[in-house]
Amino acid sequence: MNSTKSTNSRLSTILVTGGAGFIGSHLCDRLLGDGYKVVCLDNFNDFYAPQIKERNIFQASKHPNFNLIRGDILDTELLNDVFSGSYKPRTTNHEPRTIIHLAALAGVRPSLASPAQYVDVDIKGTVNLLEVAKEHNVEQFIFGSSSSVYGATQDGPFSEDDPTDAQVSPYATAKKAGELYCRTYANLYGIPTTVLRFFTVYGPRQRPEMAIHKFVRLMEQGKQIPMFGDGASARDYTYIDDIVDGIMGAVKHPFGFEIFNLGNSITIKLKDLIELIAQKLGVHPGMEQQLDQPGDVPITYADISKARSLLGYNPKVPLEEGIKRFIRWFKESA
């Protein structure tokens, strides 16, 4: 494993793509709090209401070290302007030295309907950023990947050394392709690169269509909860603060090329998750059983021993506490 000396010092500049989204906005807040300058690149697309992203970065936008670029990772001219100095954000007088690439078309089920869009954004966009990293001698590239690359594996926990050659959705395949391009550019051009496989992230600012957010909203409205399959599918739910801790660990411990799982390493079945949320809300949920969905996997379950050892990653928020925090945020933001 090739470790490389960290070049990220306080007040260095980091580009966060997708920085107005769920994970990205929390990361921007943490980076600013830790003394970094942040360039947030986001296109505010309408996959969900753009106003939600505006709210996500409302506090960050007041910070003197925060710079928002409303643009697209498919715009290669814009990307080169940002790194060449031709594009001058509000307060940043030098170009980003680190890229944390979180921008992507999200969602397994939408990828089944529009697979070509995932090629355009999730693959081509990643290659565009790697090209910029190569041309402008970026010192570190961090890629936000997904547990979906493991495919429909029945056993767990999943290790970074496990096979990842049988994805079951275009979204997962695009993420795997992004990982392969990251490895290729790291090998060819010596770009220090870290791939982070996120496991079912949840918490305040979670996208509205994601399970925990959707279930809380429907229960609050007294509506039926759609339960796909028999409710036995299991997920490794990971609280947003723990994920951001893992990303910060990667920022502070760069490598020539490494892949890390970021999860909680504890699973819960779908039917038990629904019951837990109902208990915290004090309601009796009505459940509507539906057919298994194409592209869904039976389980996600992270082996995080590598991240513990090399990134100092140590998830702290158990699911029960995380659900309480999410419900509090949901009620306060309603």
Q: What CATH number has the domain bearing residue 31? A: 3.40.50.720
Residue 7 has pLDDT above 50, yes or no: no
Q: How confident is residue 10, by pLDDT bands cut at 50, 70 and 90? A: low
179's tokens: 């990982």
- CA dihedral sign of residues 155, 287, 281, 109: positive
In a domain, 97, yes or no: yes
The pLDDT of residue 332: 96
pLDDT over 70, % of the chain: 95
CA distance 131 to 72: 15
Backbone angles phi, psi at 268, to 5 degrees: -140, 140
The pTM score is 0.95
The pLDDT of residue 144: 98
In a domain, 292, yes or no: no
Report the pLDDT averaged over residues 2-20: 73
The pLDDT of residue 309: 98
The pLDDT of residue 94: 60
Q: How confident is residue 87, by pLDDT bands cut at 50, 70 and 90? A: confident
The pLDDT of residue 221: 95
**Tally of domains in the chain:** 1
pLDDT per residue over 164-203, tens digit each? 999 999 999 999 999 999 999 999 999 999 999 999 999 9
The 3-state secondary structure of the chain reads: CCECCCCCCCCCEEEEECCCCHHHHHHHHHHHHCCCEEEEEECCCCCCCHHHHHHHCCCHHHCCCEEEEECCCCCHHHHHHHHHCCCCCCCCCCCCCEEEECCCCCCHHHHHHCHHHHHHHHHHHHHHHHHHHHHCCCCEEEEEEEHHHHCCCCCCCECCCCCCCCCCCHHHHHHHHHHHHHHHHHHHHCCCEEEEEECCEECCCCCCCCHHHHHHHHHHCCCCEEEECCCCCEECCEEHHHHHHHHHHHHHCCECEEEEEECCCCCEEHHHHHHHHHHHHCCCCCEEEECCCCCCCCECCECCHHHHHHHCCCCCCCHHHHHHHHHHHHHHHC
Our measurement of the distance from residue 211's CA atom to the centroid of its chain's CA atoms, rounded to an integer in Å, reads 15
In a domain, 21, yes or no: yes
In a domain, 140, yes or no: yes
For residue 275, count CB atoms less than 10 angstroms from its CB and return exposed for 0-12, middle for 13-18, buried for 19 or more. middle
pLDDT per residue over 271-325, tens digit each? 999 999 999 999 998 888 887 788 889 999 999 999 999 999 999 999 999 999 9
CA distance 294 to 235: 16
Instruction: Tell me whether the omega of the peptide bond preceding residue 157 falls within 30 degrees of 0, making it cis.
Output: yes
In a domain, 255, yes or no: yes
In a domain, 284, yes or no: no
Q: 110 lies in which domain range? A: 13-202+240-265+302-315
Catalytic residues: 171
Average pLDDT, the chain: 93
> Alpha carbon of 243 to those of 24, 92, 179, 193: distances in Å?
11, 27, 18, 18
pLDDT per residue over 249-286, tens digit each? 999 999 999 999 999 999 999 999 999 999 999 999 88
Residue 8 has pLDDT above 50, yes or no: no
| Tokens 């307060």 -> residue | 91
Q: How far apart are the first and last CA of the chain?
A: 47
pLDDT over 90, % of the chain: 84
In a domain, 135, yes or no: yes
143's tokens: 């890629």
In a domain, 231, yes or no: no
Residue 4 has pLDDT above 70, yes or no: no
Residue 223 has pLDDT above 80, yes or no: yes
